[in-house]
Structure 1
Amino acid sequence: MENILSEERKQSLRELAKVLGVEFHNLNFLQQALVHTSYANESKGNIVHNERLEFLGDAVLELASSTYLYQHFPQMPEGQLTKTRASIVCSATLAKLAAGLHLGDYLLLGHGEEMGGGRTRQTNLEDAFESVIGAIYLDQGWEAAQAYVLRQLESEFELAKRGAILKDYKTILQEEVYQHEGQSVVYELVAEEGPDHDKSFTFQVRITGRVMGQGTGHSKKEAEQHAAREALEKLKLK
């Protein structure tokens, strides 16, 4: 991979590493985790983007979260373990965590992706979150990567312990809104991205015409659930 780490970029990555709580031995791993395909495609040099690290990070994320659930929920059957894990490591959660770490500020994007709002695009943030996990795994090994994942997902695991992670947010929102005469709930598809085998959908939920939530998922049902959850958070009802 071409060395595109200027001193300024190295300092920026060191600052990010502090936020992540990881002291990298090789900053090139973290650098690669933040290279979007659009940047690599527009670069003249041999720049490696983050898709392979994303693949690796996704596997680490799944094993770390599965291990935690297996150890801390000994009575939970396999089917519910699978649903709980899916709820915890969903696209919306990973993107939210990435945004909290300001990963979007460190992404290297192509011109078109930059102009199109790529720094805040949910799919880019989710991919960056998983790529960083892959980078930590390559640089630090399994134990460090696992510890990082558990730190980042701590609040989601707490929700699972309270039995709140598998709520049907659409039903809760509908029941609440329909208590008030004349109010309505409408879900609207506002974006659809990606190839058929890896498509993502973005829905907005309107309460009596007012946008109250937005969510993205790999299915329309998942996206609507995330939109409903955001609406409930705004209404302080979750």
Structure 2
Amino acid sequence: MAKLKANFNHFCNLLGYQFNSKYLLVQALTHRSASNKNNERLEFLGDSLLNLITAEFLFQKFSDLPEGELSRLRSQCVNKDSLFKIADSLRIKDYIQLGVGEKMGGGQNRPSILSDAVEAVIAAIYLDSSYENTRRIVISLLEQYIVSEIKYSSTKDPKTTLQEYLQSKRYHLPVYVLIETSGMAHDQSFKIECQIKELHISTIGIGKSRRIAEQNAANLALQKIGKTNE
């Protein structure tokens, strides 16, 4: 138990926050496979807090951007990929509490489990302290990902560009279909088909997440149409 406490102290140092209630931290890092007292409810609250704090940050930083552009930036900044990067930097896989079966299946490396734990930790900070404290920690954790996305804010992602082009031509929106998932749970690869029936276009995108695979498929569709991502 002393070793566990030392590990959690190290985690708190990486996080930049020392918990008053160790119970909240333990619950935030407990997967449903390990206990009935798990992080699912905290994950629900943390997701809302994360979106609110990010929206507030973008709203204040970019006072001239319209609602649609702010929404696009938020979706780029807050997603499973960025949360997994944060989980990796905090070494959450070393602290997450899993059931025996989940652990044997490599759950400690599964992006969905680790990104959910990040949201749960955010909620735990909020319940343990205050909104302002939570905001400070979240901005600190997300800033490098927010900044990297904002650098390319003038460039729309391929899915957005494709959707806007099709809408301008009064075509139906593209359909994205999951064709195949391969690899181990912690290192999966997704194959997504982008279908544009009116143009008789079908492209295949591959990526480490569904989001990346869809973007790659959309980019290939744009190339077939002869329109570059702008």
TM-score over 0.5 (shorter chain): yes
Which of 132, 155, 180 is the matching residue for 1:143?
132
- 1:175 match: none
1:189 paired to 2:180: yes
State the alpha-carbon separation in 1 of the partners of residues 83 and 33 from structure 2: 21
Residue identity (%): 36
Q: Distance in 2 between matches of 1:189 and 1:165?
A: 32
Q: Is 1:13–2:4 an aligned residue pair? A: no
Match of 1:197 in 2: none
C-alpha spacing 1:161/1:216, structure 2 compared with 1 (3 Å):
closer
- Change in Cα spacing, 1:166 to 1:113, as seen in structure 2 (3 Å) is farther
Q: How many residues align?
A: 184
Q: Where do 5+ consecutive residues of structure 1 fail to align? A: 1-5, 41-46, 171-186, 193-200, 206-212, 229-238
Q: Deviations over 1:126-166 (max 9, x none)?
A: 10110110111111211111111101111122124322586
User: 2: distance between equivalents of 1:15 and 1:161?
Assistant: 31
1:41-120 aligned at under 5 Å gives the runs 47-120=36-109
CA distance in 1, matches of 2:214, 2:154: 12
Q: Does the alignment pair 1:28 with 2:23?
A: yes
Structure 1 pair 66/73, CA: closer, same or farther in 2 (3 Å)? same
Task: Say if 1:132 and 1:158 are closer, same or farther in 2 by CA, change over 3 A.
Answer: same
Structure 2 vs 1, CA of residues 167 and 125 (structure 1 numbering), >3 Å: closer, same or farther?
Answer: farther
Q: Tell me if the contact between 1:92 and 1:215 (Cα under 8 Å) persists in the aligned partners.
A: no
Say whether the 8 Å CA contact 2:157–2:215 is kept in structure 1: no
Query: Secondary structure of the equivalent of 1:157?
Result: helix
**What is the TM-score with the length of structure 1 in the denominator?**
0.69
Q: Secondary structure at the match of 1:189?
A: strand
TM-score scaled by length of structure 2: 0.71
- Which residue in the other structure is 1:156 paired with? 145
Counterpart of 2:190? Answer: 203
Unpaired runs of at least 5, structure 2: 160-177, 193-205, 218-230
Secondary structure of the residue aligned to 2:208 is: strand
| 1:198 match | none
CA distance in 2: counterparts of 1:165 and 1:139, whole angstroms: 38
Runs (4+) off by over 4 Å = 164-167, 225-228
Aligned in 2, Cα 1:157/1:223: closer, same or farther, shift over 3 Å?
A: closer
